[in-house]
């Protein structure tokens, strides 16, 4: 190619020539020029000297800390990376895939189906009493002979307890005493009213009726359990009084629990403390004081809850 290159264009190539970093054509051109140019030969010698000298400038070894530092950095980085991956969407999906097995699909479908059935049934049970009109045959009557006047009265009472009017419910509570005071359903309905009625007066009335029925074990248990469910100071203190009257030591535990409640009325608090003291002192320790939470009658309560709550 350019066999006749001048010194100016050759000199920048000398370094490359030394390092063997020229294209074949350039290399040939440089060599051709060098062969006939003493000045450039001299320059080459100078460049070579300096280049070689530069090569003798030593690079010191890095210190021994460099390697451990790198590896600890790497380990740290890996740990951080794993952490990040864990919470990324891809990471979550991956873990889900690892965990997931085909058998789970069937189980999941089964669970969902059960849940749906449960919801449908539950909705049906809840919905029915609401749709029952005053003239249509009452639900509870189905299990009882319609000719029995006591049964009819009872059903009427249960219906009244669910009446939206507080006055009607009050009336129902006071009727309960006369109608069928020991009937399980009625008792359960009264307890439910005591626990869940939105009106304090109705609850107090229910408590009054129930306090005369404390011979029934179900009533006792229901009252003890009710302690922790009340939020009205009036009902709370009335219940505490009743517990002292009943001398039932099983109530100490729910009473203590009640004490722990926040925003407990100060008077109620001292009353409860007093009650606990009385209960703990006046009676010899009861051999067994099972927690009241185990003493409910879920079958009855759950059966009637929708009716009363409505």
Identify which range of 64-72, 230-238, 270-278, 294-302 contacts other proteins by CB under 8 A.
64-72
Give me 101's structure tokens. Answer: 């097995």
Tell me: does residue 65 bind other proteins (CB under 8 A).
yes
Give me 127's structure tokens. Answer: 């919905």
Identify which range of 52-60, 143-151, 227-235, 275-283 contacts other proteins by CB under 8 A.
52-60
Binds other proteins by CB under 8 A, chosen from 4, 12, 284, 294: 12
Q: Give the Cα separation of 84 and 78 in Å (integer).
A: 10
Q: Which is nearer to other proteins, 59 or 143 (CB)?
A: 59
Tell me: does residue 63 bind other proteins (CB under 8 A).
yes
Tell me: does residue 70 bind other proteins (CB under 8 A).
yes
186 Cβ partners below 8 Å, 6+ apart? 154, 157, 158, 176, 179, 180
Judged by DSSP in three states, 248 sits in: coil
Task: Kindly state the smallest distance separating residue 99's Cβ from other proteins, in Å.
Answer: 21
Tell me: does residue 60 bind other proteins (CB under 8 A).
yes
Task: Kindly state the smallest distance separating residue 19's Cβ from other proteins, in Å.
Answer: 7
Site residues (CB under 8 A) for other proteins, limited to 255-274:
none
Tell me: does residue 16 bind other proteins (CB under 8 A).
yes
Tell me: does residue 110 bind other proteins (CB under 8 A).
no
Q: Under a CB-based contact definition with an 8 Å cutoff, are residues 241 and 270 in contact?
A: no
Task: For residue 264, count CB atoms less than 10 angstroms from its CB and return exposed for 0-12, middle for 13-18, buried for 19 or more.
Answer: middle
* Residues making contact with other proteins (CB under 8 A): 11-16, 19, 21, 46-47, 50-51, 53-63, 65-67, 69-71, 73-74, 77-78, 81
């Amino acid at each position: 190619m350019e066999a006749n290159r001048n010194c100016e264009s050759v000199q920048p190539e000398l370094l490359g020539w030394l390092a063997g970093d020229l294209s074949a054509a350039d290399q040939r051109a440089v060599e051709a020029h060098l062969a006939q140019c003493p000045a450039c030969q001299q320059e080459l010698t100078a460049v070579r000297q300096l280049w070689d000298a530069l090569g003798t400038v030593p690079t010191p070894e890095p210190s021994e800390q460099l390697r451990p530092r790198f590896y600890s950095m790497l380990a740290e980085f890996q740990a951080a990376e794993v952490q990040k991956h864990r919470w990324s969407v891809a990471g979550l999906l991956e873990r889900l895939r690892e965990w997931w097995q085909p058998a789970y699909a069937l189980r999941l479908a089964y669970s969902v189906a059960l849940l749906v059935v449960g919801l449908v049934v539950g909705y049906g049970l809840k919905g029915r009493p609401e749709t029952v009109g005053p003239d249509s045959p009452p639900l509870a009557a189905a299990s009882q002979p319609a000719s029995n006047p006591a049964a009819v009265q009872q059903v009427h009472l249960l219906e009244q307890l669910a009446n939206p009017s507080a006055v009607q419910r009050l009336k129902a509570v006071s009727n309960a005493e006369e109608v069928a005071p020991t009937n399980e359903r009625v008792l359960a309905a009264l307890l439910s009213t005591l626990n869940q009625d939105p009106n304090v007066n109705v609850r107090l009335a229910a408590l009054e009726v129930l306090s005369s029925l404390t011979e029934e074990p179900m009533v006792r248990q229901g009252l003890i359990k009710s302690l922790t469910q009340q939020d009205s100071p009036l009902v709370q203190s009335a219940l505490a009084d009743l517990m002292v009257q009943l001398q039932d030591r099983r109530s100490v535990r729910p009473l203590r629990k009640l004490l722990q409640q926040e925003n407990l009325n100060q008077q109620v608090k001292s009353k409860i403390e007093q009650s606990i003291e009385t209960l703990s002192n006046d009676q010899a320790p009861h051999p067994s004081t099972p927690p009241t939470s185990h003493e409910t009658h879920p079958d009855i309560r759950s059966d009637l809850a929708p009716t009363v709550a409505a």
